[in-house]
Structure 1
Amino acid sequence: MTARLATLLMLAIAAPALAQTRHNTSAPIDFNAGYIELQDRANRAILSGDVNVRQAEMTLTAQRMTVNYTGQVVDGSPQVSRLDASGGVTVTRPDQRARSQYAIYDLNRRVITMLGGVSLAQGSNVVNGGRLTINLDTGRATIDGSAVGGTVRAPDGGSVTTQGGRVTGRFSVPKRD
């Protein structure tokens, strides 16, 4: 069995166990942080210091976050298009927690991509890999081992070096009589 086939098999097994319900991506985004720097000409804000962002039932935490907005204002608020998070990133949804070094929340596509030392846990099931993609419309989470080695540009301008890898994990087994 090839490594790619094994990875696909692992994802096929994991998908039903790690799927979530649809997330309300239209809900307002509340945040708190130790510091905020507004860069209006660049249509962005930089949040730092134990950043906590909440949208509906989802929470995103990190040490630093760049909030990009479109320049359009609706009901007195700028329209956020993307969040780039770095430093101990955690995404928490009902019954699911994901951790990584970096994350990008693309609000237009309604997708969160997490990079670098990814861990996804639901109950006692845990899957680890190099890159996690969460589709917030379908609730589908996919993890790969980032088998393509090289350097990936991180949201904060730095880089994450991937060495090729595999998806690993552990699934719980129900007790039987």
Structure 2
Amino acid sequence: MRSIFAPAFIASSTAAFLAAAPVAAQQRHDSSAPIDFGADHIELQDKANRAVLAGNVSVKQADMTLNAARMTVSYTGQVVGGSPQVSRLDASGGVTVRRPDQTARSQYAIYDLNRRVVTMLGAVTLTQGGNTVNGGRLTMNMDTGRAVIDGSSVAGSRGSGVPGTVSQGGGRVTGTFSVPKRN
């Protein structure tokens, strides 16, 4: 893996769970840590100010890892300290975001660095310990740490709760919360 992108990248935390409420964030992610990436193929499209990573894409920053089949990295065209200034990242194909105690999966993910918001779309599954939440869309605000899962998904589709699929109708958020053992 090789670090090429300037600070500020993906996620603070994926999210922790609160029963019957929007998902709330864990600890904050170090967005100033170096970003390492690996892929089977990279195509630099300088005139379009983007790079396309394909095949077993893996991006790591601090304790967060993002894996996908394909990723498009858009940058502003400005270079600061030898690094392009990344403005947006689009990932597709079996997207997984991992933190030490959390894993989020979806079909697509968009990270808008200017707004500092990560949006995961299409059959989202978020797990932490014994807790699981399924929906169509997960939105994480990197500044506030707030994360929300809802039932809506891509182009009017709804998450089915089954990883890797998007189906019409429903639009519900489902899940399981673990309950501590009581005497």
TM class by shorter-chain length? 0.7 to 0.9
Larger CA deviation: 141-150 vs 43-52: 141-150
Give, in whole Å, the separation in 2 of the partners of 1:136 and 1:75: 24
Alignment of 1:51-90 (within 5 A): 51-90=57-96
CA deviations 1:49-96 (Å, max 9, x no partner) are 000011222111100000001111111110111110000000112311
Q: Percent same amino acid among aligned pairs?
A: 74
CA deviations 1:94-135 (Å, max 9, x no partner) are 311100000001112221100000000011100000000112
TM-score w.r.t. the length of structure 2 is 0.79
User: Which residue type is aligned with residue 45 of structure 2?
Assistant: Q
Partner of residue 151, structure 2:
145
Contact 1:103 1:113 (C-alpha < 8 Å) held by counterparts? yes
Match of 1:41, SS? helix
- CA drift at 1:162: 5.0
- CA drift at 1:11: 4.9
User: Which residue type is aligned with residue 143 of structure 1?
Assistant: I
- CA, structure 1 residues 148+78, in 2 after alignment: closer, same or farther (shift >3 Å)? closer
Contact 1:118 1:131 (C-alpha < 8 Å) held by counterparts? yes
* Unpaired runs of at least 5, structure 2: 1-17, 159-165
Matched positions, count: 159
* Unpaired runs of at least 5, structure 1: 1-8, 153-159
Contact 2:122 2:153 (C-alpha < 8 Å) held by counterparts? no
Q: Counting helix residues as a fraction of each chain, which structure ranks higher?
A: 1
